[in-house]
Structure 1
Amino acid sequence: MSKTISSGVWPTMLTPFTENHQLDEPNLERLVDWYIGQGVHGLFAVCQSSEMFKLSLEERVLATRIVVRQAAGRVPVIASGHTSDSIEDQIEEIKQIWAEGIEAFVMLSNRLAAEHESDEVWKANAERILQAVPDVKFGIYECPYPYKRLMNPALLQWCVSTGRFLFLKDTCCDIQEIKDRLEVLNGTGLQLFNANSATLLESLKLGAAGFSGIMANHHPALYVWLTENWNTQPEKAEQVQDFLGLASAIEGQYYPVDAKYNIQLSGIPLTLTTRVKDAAGLQTHQRTLVEQLKRYSDRLLAELT
């Protein structure tokens, strides 16, 4: 394979909305600049954190266009967004989003076969897509919605054999499974990016390429520090890992509203509006937790740098 994806931190990007639930283009541009200012190595646009199942195809294409344009080559951009059920419709979605200049299109593992269908069905549908868009490079995201379909080592080996896959957003949250996957991927062009904060450091030691998870919307610079320094500053890396693992417990609180609140605290004037949750549902004590998390994150980063 002639091309690889940059290692490091790839945040699963949020989508800013106006108060009336329209795409907030100026704040999406500001958000791109904020991520890049935090030192991230790439941007994963139009994903589950972006509320892609609540975006029209026109909005998914527009969001991709804005992110690519605003990134302006400073970091690479990948994107997903094939939310349709039929493979034919997915191919059209892939074509339109790929045309915006992304590095790879990230396929959702659950879009290529129904929950009850076999890996053979998955491979057959994947092959249809690969043949329909021969110039596209791909990633895989084990998206939990509408159901989570994990990639076993044999299926990953098939993906490697195609020479078309560069990126795996791993959501298995199992360090032994991650180890087994990395043994298959070692020396190939397909790199594993862990989405689970608790297992991140151990996965980096095993050969994972980096992090691509929702907590990079809360304190991306700490994930950047860990992925860049874990091997040269092992004692500090253990301390940072302990914090990141514990802090990730906030994932179950009120995402993505709480992450938008954290970014508000960083000075980006986006609203708390989402299409998946009522912003008013972020309770006072939950706001306090986000504020405490940000203060502690900022102090820890200052100590490291």
Structure 2
Amino acid sequence: MASVARLASQRCARYLGYTYCPAYSLPCKMTYFSATRKVLPDGVFPTMITPMNDDKSVDWAGVDLLTEWYIRSGVAGIFSICLSSEMFQLTNEERIAVAKRVADKAAGRVPVVAGATFEGSLEDQAELMNKMAPNVDAVVIITNQIGNMSDSDEVWMENVEKLMKLTGDKPLGFYETPVPKARWLTTDMMEWAARSKRFVFHKDTSISTSTMVDKIKAVQSVSGTSLKFYTAKSPFVKICMEHGGNGFSGVSPNFYPWVMSWVCRNMHDKSGHLDQAMRFISITDGTIQRRYPTSAKHYLAQEYGAPFKAVSRVISDQITDQDCFSLKSVREEMERLCQEIGATPVNITDCH
């Protein structure tokens, strides 16, 4: 672990315009690297689903409608081209086009980030990142896609450094996608990213709150960093923000974005409503993830009348009657919760 920490310090020093002094394990000032960074807002970044037609082509009108619905529901930003978007089943052309469409529809009202490292060599991945970058506020490195899962942390960091060099000064992010297998960042890597002045977004998929909190502390140890930390786990969002994290980026805003946004805005609530909302989020989390992302498309069509097809490239299973009843119950319980806490649902059919 010490070697990884030293490597992180060396690489971070190089990107901050320093050289590394092995005798003292400290960076020595040479020249300063500066970059203008748009600081992302705290709150909710929904992992955007991709509406599709019956033939599984992208439903572009649906992309526009969904983007508008997110924004009117109070989200802080949008994470396009992620696992919810069926990113592995999209072509590079579709990835670029979807991200651009979302950003164009958002029109600066909220920031848009997009995943951009998929198949091919690091050079191929950097090419896609460079093509994606003009359209979005940050291009996101998929942590398990930039090498072999058997690669050491040192090799992984070398790959990140190469992508950084190939992409100039573009704002970057990390996404610890759990599919096919998660590559989680260590606390040393998180501190390195926070010091690098290139990273502005991190979607964390840690499966323990203690690991998540340690990573948040690593980011916080860097004064003035522009790196923002968003948990992917709905039940973790309160703990994440209590310990200095910046919000949530995951599945549940595809069902009730206003609830997740309310939670992120009301972390100091003492009325009991915050705990009430967190119980609802934790209880319904398993239900909404069954047959996802098809379940989200079905939910928006069935419960809100959205002109979406329950079609996806990644899930072939059909929505069952049991799924329908469960999702209907989610809406009913959500609406009762909203009456209690004062959150306002937004009907997607009003977002044309």
- After TM superposition, is the score higher than 0.5? yes
Letter in 2 for 1:253: R
**How far apart, CA to CA, are the structure 2 residues paired with 1:208 and 1:160?**
13
Does residue 246 (structure 1) correspond to residue 283 (structure 2)? The answer is: yes
Q: 2:142 aligns with which of 87, 93, 108?
A: 108
User: Which digits, 9 at most, give the CA deviation of each residue in 1:50-71, with x for residues without a partner?
Assistant: 0011111111111011101111
For normalisation by structure 2, the TM-score amounts to: 0.83
Equivalent residue for 1:168? Answer: 202
Does residue 200 (structure 1) correspond to residue 234 (structure 2)? The answer is: no
Letter in 2 for 1:195: A
Does residue 277 (structure 1) correspond to residue 315 (structure 2)? The answer is: yes
**How far apart, CA to CA, are the structure 1 residues paired with 2:341 and 2:158?**
48
Matched residue of 2:290: which SS? helix
Q: 1:290 aligns with which of 327, 345, 350?
A: 327
Q: 2:185 aligns with which of 137, 151, 155?
A: 151
Letter in 1 for 2:192: W
Equivalent residue for 1:90? Answer: 125
Unaligned runs of 5+ in 1: none
Instruction: Please say which of residues 250-259 and 120-129 is displaced more in the overlay.
Output: 250-259
Contact kept, 8 Å, 1:139 with 1:165, in 2: the verdict is yes
Shift of 1:163: 1.0
Q: Number of paired residues? A: 303
Contact kept, 8 Å, 1:31 with 1:268, in 2: the verdict is no
Equivalent residue for 2:69? Answer: 34
Q: Counterparts of 1:255-270 in structure 2 under 5 Å? A: 255-264=292-301, 265-270=303-308
User: Which of the two has higher C-alpha Rg?
Assistant: 2
**How far apart, CA to CA, are the structure 2 residues paired with 1:170 and 1:105?**
16
Contact kept, 8 Å, 2:231 with 2:248, in 1: the verdict is yes
Matched residue of 2:147: which SS? coil
Q: 1:128 aligns with which of 162, 168, 171?
A: 162
**How far apart, CA to CA, are the structure 2 residues paired with 1:71 and 1:268?**
19
Does residue 301 (structure 1) correspond to residue 338 (structure 2)? The answer is: yes
**How far apart, CA to CA, are the structure 1 residues paired with 2:163 and 2:313?**
29
Divergent runs of 4+, >4 A: none
Matched residue of 1:49: which SS? helix
User: Which digits, 9 at most, give the CA deviation of each residue in 1:218-250, with x for residues without a partner?
Assistant: 111100000001213462111111110111112
Between the aligned residues of both structures, percent identity stands at: 30
